[in-house]
Structure 1
Amino acid sequence: MASPGPSSPPPGRSGRRRPPAASNAAGVLPTDVLFDVLLRLPAKELCRLRAVCRSWRSLTSDTLFIGAHAARHPDPLFLANFRDDEAHIHVFDLSGNVVKVIPNPDGHQLLTTRLDLTCAVTVSNSCRVLDPATGRVRVLPESPAPEHADRENVRKPYTSFALGWIGATGEYKVLRMFSRPILTGFHQCHLFEVFTISCTSGSCSSHAQWRVRPSHEEFFEPGSAIVVSEVVYFKVDTVCDAMICGGVNPGIPLDLIYSFDLEREEWRGILQGPIYDIFQTDEYDDDLDDYRSLWSEITLADLSGSLALVHYRKYQHVMDLWLLKDFDNGIWVKEYMIQIEPIFPTTEWCVKALFMLDDGRIVIHFPKSGLLFIYDPRTDTSAQVEMRHLDALAMYTGNLLSLQVGDMV
């Protein structure tokens, strides 16, 4: 199957050359007026126009025009699995308007990414990396690395994935984690592999197979993975939560965070979260029941390149957002305390995905209800995005003006 290629370089990079001269439908070179008119049109309309006009297709595919258009239309785009349509991935804006539909015939679930490419997976070891602009899809091999071929752990695995972009090389890397529901004591067995996708000049190639990476014997939850810059972060394993609920103290704080460096392909140090140390203070209720619910209330997130720990205190109707300021010294700062009552649903236990926009607004996806909200810290107000209910959400940082393969709607 065709390999994906980024529609544009990741944020911060843009072309510098001037667009080539092109003729319009009447054979006349475009004027500055025409150029300006085209810049005003949304990407959705431009893609329709250039489908019937080759000269506009050339002009609107130029890197300089794409950069200028992005500057004129800074509003972000998102990708979603809609609850009532597993057969497609939808690209939409924050007004709830769907601008593109991408086939998703096997019902793969989006990972919570913030990249030019995105990743859709299943827990049964199926993974696809796709380019929302071109519609190209790369299906990653399901067979394990040769060293894992005879391991019992990969016969019927529960599989988790994480996708990240490596700035120094321009490569994308996928981390795959095989997990078996067989415990040794209270430990699950995990196997780790990495797959590299190299993207240059609008096309992508990949290594032929997965590569084995070092195992990790600690209590961590593969399905909680979030990628921030080039590091994958994980919550503590659900086993620890179950032990505490059963009256057994695992000796591990429930806000502990593990991390894997995708660029170096090695494990980093263990990070102590900000909540455990202050749980006995006046800021938090020191009731044991509150501590027992801590694991389920915590979500890890990428807030504009910073690791965030989201603590959704359901019964207090408060959402605390902690940002990591210094990994080596474990310094956290609580940047936001959002009073969520009454607009947010009180049936939720946690946040599934959370993103920060360039203007400081925060996009919040609740998994149980499938609702999407935008919180504005400048006014301390929230608003629901009127749209279909979501099962998964990713932020798209690319540009839809690359040559289209999918359907614009």
Structure 2
Amino acid sequence: MGMKLSSLRCPPRSAVVAVSLPPDVVFDILSWLPLKSLCRFRCVSREWRALISNPAFFAAHKTRSEPLIAANSFSDLTTLRLIDMDGKVVKVIKTKDHIFSFVCASSDNIICVLGHSLRQARVINLATGEILVTSIRGTFIGFGRATPSGVYKMVCISTRCCRILTIGDGTGWRQKQSPPPKGISYHSNPVTVNGMLYFASQIHGDSVLCFDLESEEWKRGIRGPPNVEPERCYITLGELNSTLCMMQPEVDNGFTIIWLLTNADKGTWFKLYTIPLDPSTYDRMIPLRMLLDGGKLLFYVTDDSMKLPVLQIFAPQHRTCSDAPKILAGDHGGSIGLCSSR
């Protein structure tokens, strides 16, 4: 016998029991929501509108929504400082071993770094400071979180094989499908975005090689932007506000172009920034964050000789680059990355 529609009616208004949460609980819950949702929730009630408009709430939301800068100094390679976007050091993490560089720069609280002589890869939980994995790196290494399982994996690439290590499962390294017969560019670090590990290619055709961390399989490559030829320039990849981006150095013209991937299947890219940054003056350019302030770009470059990172801000309205405030840049002089640990 089918269910009657009358049985699906809502209970009478008098039967509904209203649940009232304490104001501090509502404050805490709303402060974790995306900005777009908060704009809609301002219309729920006068109380919520007043709460969301409160400067104290805005400060709490900013603290939780904006990533932190993870930085260390060549003068103290065992200390990692987490700095918020206002330049405040919110956490200091001491490690037993040296940290020379970050393998990944994605916004998360689990990071992979290179240590002694750049041959030792370690995975660190920034929330606790615990070292989860220590491994001798191979020819090329990538790191990231698989989707949708959420597990973290380390990928070691050599010319003949591809090995996978799942963090925390205790099974050790596993041999997987060999990389495609197209040349991986060793000038660009691999980047993980939404569960996909991307490698820059140095051969004409597919400019980006793709490895799915969930299925542990190589996927179809992605064509690069129009008129971008990998074999003629050192293109590098990055992650910008949870989207894959590509840096194209224009040595002859003295500027750097940043492309944003808008459709992986069609190989569609959007020219996001044209920065008056001469590629001949730096070794590598890494974008960190697109800021809310007029679409400004926070990035860093490493010097060709000393490899020291310099944190800068590009203002697209004026097409100018300037050094980031000292309070934000800090006394790093070592490695820079992003994380979300508090």
Cα displacement string for residues 386-406 of structure 1 (whole angstroms, at most 9, x for unaligned residues): 2335433221123x1xxxxxx
Alignment correspondent of 2:45:
none
Moved more, 258-267 or 330-339: 330-339
Question: Cα offset for 1:381?
Answer: 4.3
* SS of structure 1 residue aligned to 2:220: coil
8 Å CA contact 1:113–1:163 kept in 2: the answer is: no
Q: Does 1:219 align with 2:156?
A: no
Alignment correspondent of 1:172:
152
Letter in 1 for 2:153: K
Letter in 1 for 2:80: I
Alignment correspondent of 1:266:
217
Q: Indicate how the Cα distance of structure 1 residues 18 and 215 shifts in structure 2: closer, same or farther if over 3 A, else same.
A: farther
8 Å CA contact 1:312–1:351 kept in 2: the answer is: no
Alignment correspondent of 1:71:
61
Q: Does 1:133 align with 2:97?
A: no
Q: Does 1:319 align with 2:256?
A: yes
The CA distance in 2 between the partners of 1:192 and 1:395, in whole Å, is 27
8 Å CA contact 2:255–2:276 kept in 1: the answer is: yes
Question: Cα offset for 1:261?
Answer: 0.8
Q: Which has the higher contact order (CA 8 A, sep 6+)?
A: 1
The CA distance in 2 between the partners of 1:366 and 1:305, in whole Å, is 20
The equivalent position to 1:120 in structure 2, one of 113, 126, 130, is: 113
Cα displacement string for residues 197-237 of structure 1 (whole angstroms, at most 9, x for unaligned residues): 3xxxxxxx433312221111321135621111111111225
Unaligned ranges ≥5, structure 1: 1-16, 20-30, 40-66, 143-156, 180-188, 198-204, 238-251, 280-290, 401-409
The CA distance in 2 between the partners of 1:98 and 1:335, in whole Å, is 31
Q: Indicate how the Cα distance of structure 1 residues 254 and 79 shifts in structure 2: closer, same or farther if over 3 A, else same.
A: farther
Taking structure 1 as the reference length, what is the TM-score of the superposition? 0.59
Letter in 1 for 2:215: R
Alignment correspondent of 1:367:
302
Listed as ranges, the matches of 1:42-61 within 5 Å are: none
Letter in 2 for 1:317: G
The CA distance in 2 between the partners of 1:267 and 1:256, in whole Å, is 14
Alignment correspondent of 2:268:
331
Listed as ranges, the matches of 1:1-400 within 5 Å are: 70-73=60-63, 74-108=65-99, 109-111=101-103, 112-122=105-115, 125-142=119-136, 158-177=138-157, 179=158, 189-197=159-167, 205-216=168-179, 217-221=181-185, 224-237=189-202, 252-253=203-204, 256-275=207-226, 277=227, 294-295=233-234, 298-340=235-277, 347-357=281-291, 360-368=295-303, 369-377=308-316, 380-385=319-324, 386=326, 387-398=330-341, 400=342
The CA distance in 1 between the partners of 2:284 and 2:139, in whole Å, is 22
Question: Cα offset for 1:97?
Answer: 4.0
Question: Cα offset for 1:372?
Answer: 0.3
The CA distance in 1 between the partners of 2:321 and 2:21, in whole Å, is 42
Percent identity at matched positions? 27
Question: Cα offset for 1:322?
Answer: 0.9
8 Å CA contact 1:87–1:104 kept in 2: the answer is: yes
Provide the alpha-carbon RMSD of the alignment: 3.3
8 Å CA contact 1:121–1:161 kept in 2: the answer is: no
Letter in 1 for 2:282: E
* SS of structure 1 residue aligned to 2:161: strand
* SS of structure 2 residue aligned to 1:71: helix
Q: Indicate how the Cα distance of structure 1 residues 168 and 254 shifts in structure 2: closer, same or farther if over 3 A, else same.
A: closer
8 Å CA contact 1:232–1:262 kept in 2: the answer is: yes
Unaligned ranges ≥5, structure 2: 1-19, 32-56
Q: How many residues align?
A: 279
Alignment correspondent of 1:404:
none
8 Å CA contact 1:76–1:357 kept in 2: the answer is: no
Moved more, 80-89 or 223-232: 80-89
Letter in 2 for 1:266: E
Letter in 2 for 1:299: T
8 Å CA contact 1:124–1:159 kept in 2: the answer is: no
The CA distance in 2 between the partners of 1:393 and 1:194, in whole Å, is 26
